[in-house]
Amino acid sequence: MSKTLIVVTDSPFPSLDPAKEALARLDAEVVQAKSPSAEDILAVARDADGILVTYAKLTGDLLRQCKKLKVIGRFGLGVDNIDTATAKELGIVVTYVPDYCLHEVSDHAAALMLTLARKIPIANARVQSGHWEMPVVVPLRRFNTQTVGLIGFGGIPRNVAPKMQAFGFEVIANDPFLPKEVFEKANVESVSLDELYARADLISVHAPLLPATRGLVNDDAFAKMKDGVMIVNTARGPLIDEAALVRALDSGKVAAAGLDVVTTEPLPKDSPLLGRPNVVLTPHTGFYSVEALLELETKCAKDVASVLAGEKPVYPVKM
């Protein structure tokens, strides 16, 4: 009897040993594709029982050619790189790990908001260029006079809220899919998106990327915001219309932006977001810590092992 075949399309991990350990009860053969291209994935995955994927695109056409595939495990939070409709049609279970980096991403979002609110990047740039002067950061406002608006109130923003409240910010949030009790428990006011735009001094984006949310923060949204608003995105790049953001930065409507994700990654070298002291860019590192990677790799592989052993996964994707 042939071994269970697990294909890893691409991996952010220094070693696949934790995943292999989690898969050990299957006596599985773990094979990594040469690259995340469809051709290289199919070269090793046509007879795979399971696939572990990070950023590679698993299209419907690719999935249809994997005749034995029973489960896909996503090393991450979202599944927008997987054709889940086709997976459902083919009876392929899709799993993910929605809770592995709650601390890291919420810390990153809070850190970006704090550094923008204190204008640290602008001050640092001036000092580094030989200018020791306070007027470059004028005006600054006390944190306890300002409001943070969270777009989405899932696990990550629910961890952001107390961190920003600890610094004195009022926190409001918009999430039409949650009951009021969730907000009340967090001492966060539930508001409409338009009200959030009108009241927030800092906005942090945490919505899932869906057809309905692509380009959610656009010209119309910026027009409803306060003059001088600051915005942070640690969720998915396409949630913000980048051309609209650039226009808002140019006009001064947006005073500063902190982006860990962008529409095209890596960021193009000619991006108009580059070279701006009021724009802080990090290369999609919000999820990372040594502990988070280990948790991610282990939980994802364990769920794939569970499915292939005929058990229910802990983190199935609802399709």
- Domains of the chain, first to last: 5-100+290-308 (3.40.50.720), 102-281 (3.40.50.720)
103 classed as catalytic: no
Catalytic residue among 170, 236, 242, 297: 236
Rounded to the nearest 5°, which phi and psi values hold at 56? -60, 150
Number of CB atoms found within 10 A of residue 208's CB: 16
pLDDT of 2: 72
pLDDT of 175: 98
SS (H, E, C) the chain: CCCCEEEECCCCCCCCHHHHHHCHHHCCEEEECCCCCHHHHHHHHCCCCEEEECCCCECHHHHHCCCCCCEEEECCCCCCCECHHHHHHHCCEEECCCCCCHHHHHHHHHHHHHHHHCCHHHHHHHHHCCCCCCHHHCCCCCHHHCEEEEECCCHHHHHHHHHHHHCCCEEEEECCCCCHHHHHHCCCEECCHHHHHHHCCEEEECCCCCCCCCCCECHHHHHHCCCCEEEEECCCHHHECHHHHHHHHHHCCEEEEEECCCCCCCCCCCCCCCCCCCEEECCCCCCCCHHHHHHHHHHHHHHHHHHHCCCCCCCECCC
pLDDT of 77: 86
* 280-302 per-position pLDDT tens digit: 999 999 999 999 999 999 999 99
pLDDT of 1: 47
Estimate to the nearest angstrom the gap between the alpha carbon of 315 and the chain centroid: 17
pTM of the predicted model, to two decimals?
Answer: 0.89
Catalytic residue among 74, 126, 206, 284: 284
142 classed as catalytic: no
pLDDT in tens, the chain (319 residues): 478 999 999 999 999 999 999 999 998 999 999 999 999 999 999 999 999 999 999 999 999 999 999 999 999 988 989 999 999 999 999 999 999 999 999 999 999 999 999 999 999 999 999 999 999 999 999 999 999 999 999 999 999 999 999 999 999 999 999 999 999 999 999 999 999 999 999 999 999 998 999 999 999 999 999 999 999 999 999 999 999 999 999 999 999 999 999 999 999 999 999 999 999 999 999 999 999 999 999 999 999 999 999 999 999 999 8
Catalytic residue among 21, 39, 133, 265: 265
295 classed as catalytic: no
- Are the C-beta atoms of 237 and 263 separated by less than 8 Å? yes
